């Protein structure tokens, strides 16, 4: 078999695995098996070992709770087919006026409306989702973009409107959701992302969002996916109980206290371990060391747009 034919066959096999993994009718047990086939332990170790280090000398790990539809979109995206969240476009088409009014209210609330009035008026003359994103990403100071993304005026009220994608650093914001009531649940996707593609800010210090351990990126590439955790039990077995993971010590303490029957870590225990651990670590300790200057409230970088010449 030629090298080209082999690559074509491998591509077809991968497409089949992705299709099965993200199909709404696939069983949880089969999803777990498919994810292990797509993302090998050897590849996972290599990616984690090559990641930038955090403030405590640990490899930086990123997580996102996703739908299986979003996971499919990420896995099938490439340079010629960049990732698009259809929810953002659909929402904008229905609520463009509300989005526009919310942006204006946000600018006034932040006392920067007059500063950006000319750009805002220009945006309103051709108010499209693309132009909205150009405005917030290339006109506003990045600290204002981050505030907008978190608030109900922007990303908090309108899904995917800013195009920033939220991630939790260190641990997931929440465990995977098991399937129930005919719904497939939600996986947790682990990423290893180049630090230059990750955006951090100091807002966790003042906006009561420390527990989310949130950072942002503008893109998610399929080659950055390290692993996919399907269901609470899969997450417990392969993340909570991982001796190299940050939750392992908390798991061991509960085990020694006799909290588990036959070492079964149920959903409530997973939540307890995860939430209790998040109280002990700051997002500042979990992000790449070289990004720490970006969480300084006095950093001049925060007053520059996130994207130049967009």
How far is C-alpha 31 from the geometric centre of its chain's CA atoms? 20
Residue (of 207, 170, 160) closest to 66 by Cα position? 160
Which of 174, 160, 284 has its CA nearest to residue 218? 160
Which bin fits 164, alpha (ψ -120 to 50), beta or left (φ > 0)? Answer: beta
Whole-number Å distance between alpha carbons of 248 and 6: 40
Q: Which residue in this structure is represented by tokens 């280090």?
A: 53
- Any bridge partners for residue 65, and if so which? 188
Residues constituting the chain? 310
Supply the pLDDT for residue 34. 97
Q: Are 120 and 160 in contact (CB under 8 A)?
A: no
Looking at residue 10, its pLDDT comes to 60
What are the pLDDT tens digits along the chain (310 aa)? 444 333 444 666 899 999 999 999 999 999 999 999 999 999 999 999 999 999 999 999 999 999 999 999 999 988 767 777 767 888 899 999 999 999 999 999 999 999 999 999 999 999 999 999 999 999 999 999 999 999 999 998 998 899 999 999 999 999 999 998 888 899 999 999 999 999 999 999 888 788 889 999 999 999 999 999 999 999 999 999 999 899 999 999 999 999 888 889 999 999 999 999 999 999 999 999 999 999 999 999 999 999 986 6
Helix ranges (H only) for the chain are: 3-22, 28-38, 41-49, 68-75, 86-109, 117-125, 129-138, 142-150, 232-235, 248-256, 267-280, 283-286
In this predicted structure, what is the pLDDT of residue 224? Answer: 97
SS3 call for 17: helix
Is residue 169 within 8 Å of 287, Cβ to Cβ?
yes
Q: For residue 204, count other CB atoms closer than 10 A to its CB.
A: 20
**DSSP bridge partners of 186:** 177
Residue 7, pLDDT score: 44
The predicted structure's pLDDT at residue 2:
41
């Amino acid at each position: 078999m030629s090298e080209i034919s082999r690559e074509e066959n491998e591509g077809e096999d991968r497409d089949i695995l992705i299709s099965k993994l993200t199909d709404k009718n696939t069983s949880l047990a089969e999803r777990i098996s498919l994810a292990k086939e797509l993302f090998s332990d050897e590849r996972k170790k290599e990616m984690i070992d090559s990641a930038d280090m955090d403030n405590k000398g640990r490899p930086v790990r990123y997580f996102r709770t996703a739908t299986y539809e979003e996971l499919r979109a990420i896995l099938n995206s490439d340079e010629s087919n960049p990732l698009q969240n259809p929810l953002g476009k659909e929402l904008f088409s229905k609520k463009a006026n509300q989005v526009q009014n919310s942006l204006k209210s946000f600018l006034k609330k932040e006392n920067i409306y007059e500063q950006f009035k000319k750009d805002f008026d220009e945006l309103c003359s051709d108010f499209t989702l693309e132009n909205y994103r150009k405005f917030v990403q290339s006109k506003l100071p990045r600290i204002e973009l981050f505030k907008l993304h978190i608030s109900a005026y922007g990303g908090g009220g309108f899904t995917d409107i800013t195009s920033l994608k939220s991630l939790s650093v260190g641990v997931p914001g929440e465990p995977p959701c098991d399937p129930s009531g005919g719904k497939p649940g939600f996986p947790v996707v682990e990423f290893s992302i180049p630090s230059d593609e990750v955006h951090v800010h100091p807002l966790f210090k003042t906006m009561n969002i420390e527990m989310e351990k949130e950072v942002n990126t503008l893109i998610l590439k399929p080659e950055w996916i390290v692993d996919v955790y399907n269901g609470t039990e899969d997450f417990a077995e392969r993340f909570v109980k991982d001796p190299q993971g940050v939750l392992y010590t908390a798991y061991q303490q509960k085990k020694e206290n006799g909290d588990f029957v036959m070492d079964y870590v149920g959903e409530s225990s997973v939540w307890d371990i995860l939430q209790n651990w998040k109280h002990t670590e700051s997002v500042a300790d979990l992000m790449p060391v070289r990004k720490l200057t970006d969480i300084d409230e006095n950093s001049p970088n925060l007053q520059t747009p996130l994207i130049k010449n967009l």
